[in-house]
Amino acid sequence: MISDSYWRGQEGGKEQVQVRETDKGTYEIYKYYYAPEELRNLLEHSFSRVEQLQTTHYEMICIARRKLKP
């Protein structure tokens, strides 16, 4: 199961570097926002079967299974 934010045309583009500050320092986080069909294609290539791909207002939830070899 995968749950993450997805590309909704937000400001900054599909590839972004975001800065996060914590009590242990400042970190740059690389983020790539997948479009739902883009993620489906990648997962079908890796897992063979995507059982569910659902988007909400903020996130995309996907369940994929690898085919068992006979």
pLDDT range class, residue 69, cuts 50, 70, 90: low
Query: What gap in Å lies between CA 7 and CA 58, rounded to an integer?
Result: 9
Nearest by Cα to 43 from 32, 57, 33, 53: 53
pLDDT in tens, 41-66: 888 888 888 888 888 877 888 788 87
Give yes or no for a contact between 7 and 59, defined as CB atoms under 8 angstroms apart. Answer: no
Q: pTM score, two decimals?
A: 0.63
- Give, in degrees to the nearest 5, the angle at Cα 58 between 6 and 65: 55
Give yes or no for residue 14 having a pLDDT over 90: no
Greater confidence (4 vs 23) lies with: 23
Q: Where are the domains of the chain?
A: 2-66
